[in-house]
Amino acid sequence: MSDSSKRLLWSVVAALALAAAALWGASSFTWLDVPPGTVVDGELREELSGGDLVTWPVPLALLALAAVAATLALRGVARRVLGVVLVAVAVWVTVLVLGGSAYDVDLFVRAPGYDEIPGEPTKTWAGPAAALAAAALYAVAGVVLVWRGHRLPRMGAKYSAPGARKARSRSGDPDADLWNALSEGEDPTTRDH
């Protein structure tokens, strides 16, 4: 395979790894600053993270890591199907973040003595931005797999079963046999012909 194909494959792997990191970060970044005295699940809180508000960032981060393994193992049509799934996940994450459903929570209770302090919850940008960055990385990886996935190299593809190596090494062309022997780490001058 060409160096550009290998580079493209490792770019997809890097995009998926970064998507996993971004989603993991989105689950711990603050999504909502709440007024003083707000009680959530029996605790006084000043902020709510993505993990407090929604459950999907961590599982989708794990999905991105699984997609790394699948990208390296799959080939052909299966890789293209993986690309379509990744694009669908990217669209889904975008809809979840921009739809605002993460902020639809009725968990807010004011602690005694804080009832008179004014304030409303305010949205922050770090958590949603990390989730949207992950969606963009998912989309890029998915589009590349749909577009060029069938042409990208596969891990372990250069290692053949012993029978396939023998058939390949005895092609009938002495020059090709010489190079095949060298590729397999053998001394071509000591081989049986």
The domain that holds 105 is classified in CATH as 1.20.140
Other residues' Cβ atoms within 10 Å of the Cβ of residue 46: 11
d(CA 179, CA 188): 8
Whether residues 68 and 155 share a domain: the answer is yes
At residue 191, the pLDDT reads 62
**DSSP label of 130:** H
> Range of 127's domain?
3-159
Nearest to 64 by CA among 28, 114, 3, 20: 20
| Same-domain check for residues 28 and 120 | yes
On the question of pLDDT at 175 being above 80, the answer is no
Number of other residues whose CB lies within 10 A of the CB of residue 3: 7
Average pLDDT along the chain: 82
Q: What pLDDT was estimated at residue 47?
A: 80
Q: Indicate if the pLDDT at residue 168 is higher than 60.
A: no
* Confidence band for 100, pLDDT divided at 50, 70 and 90: confident
Alpha carbon distance 79, 85 (integer Å): 10
Q: Name residue 49's beta-bridge partners.
A: 30
Does residue 53 contact residue 105 with C-beta atoms inside 8 Å?
yes
- Looking at the DSSP assignment, which residues form a beta bridge with residue 32? 48, 123
- Please report the pLDDT score of residue 153 as a whole number: 76
Higher pLDDT, 127 or 116: 127
Q: Which residue would you say has higher pLDDT here, 31 or 166?
A: 31
The sign of the CA dihedral 59, 61, 65, 70 is positive
Residue range 28-66, pLDDT digits in tens? 998 888 777 777 766 777 788 888 888 899 999 999 999
Of 40-49, 123-132, 147-156, which one has max mean pLDDT?
A: 123-132
Q: Residue 156 in 3-state DSSP?
A: coil
pLDDT at 150: 78
Q: What confidence score (pLDDT) does residue 49 get?
A: 84
Across the range 91-110, mean pLDDT stands at: 78
Question: Which tokens go with 7?
Answer: 């580079």
Q: How confident is the model at residue 69 (pLDDT cuts 50, 70, 90)?
A: very high
In a shared domain, residues 69 and 120: yes
Q: Confidence class of residue 16 from pLDDT cuts 50, 70 and 90?
A: very high
Residue 93 burial class via C-beta count within 10 angstroms: exposed 0-12, middle 13-18, buried 19 and up: buried
Same structural domain for residues 117 and 193?
Answer: no
What proportion of the chain, given as a percentage, has pLDDT over 90? Answer: 39
Q: What confidence category does residue 106 fall into, taking pLDDT thresholds of 50, 70 and 90?
A: low
Which residue carries 């921009």 as its tokens? 98
In terms of domains, do 90 and 111 share one? yes
The residue type found at 68 is V
Q: How many domains does the chain have?
A: 2
- Regarding whether 135 and 169 lie in a shared domain, the answer is no
The answer to whether the beta carbons of residues 132 and 94 sit under 8 Å apart is: yes
